[in-house]
A and B are shown apart, each in its own frame.
Chain A
Amino acid sequence: FFSAPFFAMKKLSLLLAPKALRTSFNVAIIPGDGIGKDVVPWGKRVLDVIQDKTPVTFDTVDLEAGYATFQSTGKSVPDETITKLKSCDGALFGAAATPTQPPAGYVPPIFELRQKCKLYANVRPMVSAPVDTKSGRSNVDMVVVRENTECLYVGKERYANEIMGKGKVVVSERHISEKASLRIARFAFTLARRRRGHKSRPPHVTIVHKANILGMTDGLFLECCKEVAKEFPDVPYDDQLIDGFMYKLTHRPTQYDVVVAPNTWANIISNGGAPLVGGLGMVAAMNEGGTLMLAEPVHGTPPHLEGTKKSNPIATMRAAVLIAQGLAPTLGVDYYFEKALEQILREGTSITPDLGGTGTTDELGSALIERFAALMDLGSEETEHVFRDG
């Protein structure tokens, strides 16, 4: 407990980062349904290691949300969950089963959580996996910043008057506001600037939209992003239509740094981009903007994986790292976790089927935890290096 790296971290964190004076955080653990229950415990183990090896404490609380919760209580996110979340700093969410024909009154829990906790930004890092995967590419290092509150997700649909001969007619509303657009743009440009310190490539923001067809809504979004860009003359940017972008993304994903887009397009972009960096089992998302940092794997709970115990826990473990990084950035734990990940994946013995192996969730999870803990024990020179640059 009183080892050198420990003292080094404690001393340096007090010197360098006033906001890291706080060392105790409340984190909610919300497994959800299906494979969420298999992978979330490994996310929690990541927090356990960090708590074990650093001055930081994570007081965790288990909370309910999901389709099963809806079926037993009538709400996908019970009031109690929301209340308890108000006193949390971080939250780890697993996955929820969302039927393609949702029953009346069912709101996907992650949706509810984002709205109630006012998490306006959804940040998805996409970095190449250090292992060969089907359709994986190397040297990808981008972040998708998704506007998290509006667009087609406002839930405003209605039946319009039946048009003669056309049968039923439904109209959905897509909302884009100046306020939300300016806010997400500022978030994206700030992130690009911050990333510059950690990367060899220059910062860049790509704004993705469909303003040729959606001249007012995406026109407004684009205009707001360009307005904010003026505040960041050190961050070059460009804009692309979603269709051209999807082509370029699949063709050469390495060209992108920060990508910002309205809710619907950004969701497509990060899901479409996932196979390029190892699949949905590798990508985590951080929902932020309020007082809560809510991280989740981007995958849901696909029926063909349920019960197999072979789902990839990496996305969830990365989500846990995102929480720790968000709450205590000077610790630099992401460096150690990614190093452990790189080593375990290269060794290849415990990897899950989606990455080409035959390992189980628990085998891969425990291999990663063991290596992560070992690296955290080892590195004090590395710790110094992280503090100097971070």
Chain B
Amino acid sequence: AGFNTLMRLGQALPPETLDTCETCDAALFGPVFGPTRSIPGYFAPYVLLKRKLDLYAQLTRCTSLPIVASGFKAGVDVLIVRENLEGFYIQQETLEETAHGRSAIALRRVTEQNSTLVARCAFEQAQRRRKLLTVVHKSNILTVSDGLFRESCFSVAREFPDVTVEEQITEAFICSMIRDPSPYDVIVTPNMFGDFLSEALAALVGGLQYHSQCNVGGRFILVHPIHGTADDIACHTANPASMLRSVGLLLEHLVPEGRELAQRIDRALFGILQDRIVVPYDMGGSSDTVQITDAFLERFEKLV
């Protein structure tokens, strides 16, 4: 799948890929090329997969890295649960000529069902974590659509009396989050805000190279790194950390022993980084992708 696939086969997500996915329980995705403007015929494969497999929530867990690096915030463990199927991602836009020039309209959809599904997912996560959920929305301006979103979240809240729920308007939240993310536990938010909130938070705790995202529906899990293809980085020098941690994330959601396995992956990965067995380019070193992976596997096997 991806842009190269589009060039070779004419589709970014060939039918075989989609069919195979439908027979699986999960998929592990690498980064895909994301052009900054829409290219006719190219749909980012994630977007299509999410829709086809009904992956209604995207979870991004941003935790402070257990290695010391300047500028990165410590003491952070925040899970962002983002509505994954609607909002602007329905991609319904129109463009017309008017007397004053061209005018474009984009439709943003919020439904009770999707809001409820993502809210329930968020509450379940909060229940397993520190039992605090913050609903982030813009109902001061989007009184009807985000009004419906927040209403759905508060309805679901009644099913989880042990979880404390609070709310914050998006711009107030982002200011608070960037200032100090540590008080937050789980965030639930509509599609368009979840998009950049995870990236901003990843920057604060330790960089995009270390974080992945998990897209969940009833019956399928899709995991991919938070970053894109970073065409400014030379081949073979990319830090594979996010892919390694993606596997951990996948296992965590797939099997009961998953969480333990994910922790072991993290221990191996951060162990080799802390002990400076390898030093990736993003930390000022020159260990390449293969070297880091080899070192990781060696350490991981020792821990088993």
Q: Which residues from chain A sit less than 8 Å from chain B, CB to CB? A: 98-102, 108, 111, 134-135, 152-153, 155, 157-160, 163, 165-179, 182, 209-217, 219-220, 222, 239-251, 267-268, 271-276, 279-280, 300, 302
Contacts and interface: CB of A to CB of B under 8 A. Distances in A.
Contacts of B44: 212
Contacts, number: 196
B99 to A, nearest CB: 10
A251 to B, nearest CB: 5
A307 B170 CA distance: 24
B89 A213 contact: yes
A101 B172 contact: no
Describe A's contact surface by its main secondary structure.
mixed
Contacts of A279: 175, 179
Contacts of A166: 111-114
Q: Which one of B142, B169, B170 has the highest number of Cβ atoms from chain A below 10 Å of its Cβ? A: B142
B38 interface: yes
Interface in B136-176: 138-145, 147-148, 150, 167, 169-172, 174-175
Given A100-B167, A247-B199, A268-B196, 5 more contacts: A160-B109, A169-B111, A216-B94, A216-B106, A249-B200
B275 interface: no
Contacts of A271: 171-172, 174-175
A177 B140 contact: no
B36 to A, nearest CB: 5
B218 interface: no
A219 B35 CA distance: 12
A179 B100 CA distance: 7
Contact of A215 (B38, B101, B195, B200): B38
Contacts of B93: 214-217
6 contacts: A99-B140, A102-B143, A135-B179, A168-B112, A215-B93, A267-B171
Nearest to B204: A250
Given A275-B178, A276-B178, A220 B112 contact: no
Nearest to B194: A243
A179 B101 contact: yes
Nearest to A99: B140
Q: Which one of B107, B171, B208 has the highest number of Cβ atoms from chain A below 10 Å of its Cβ? A: B171
Given A178-B101, A242-B196, A168 B108 contact: no
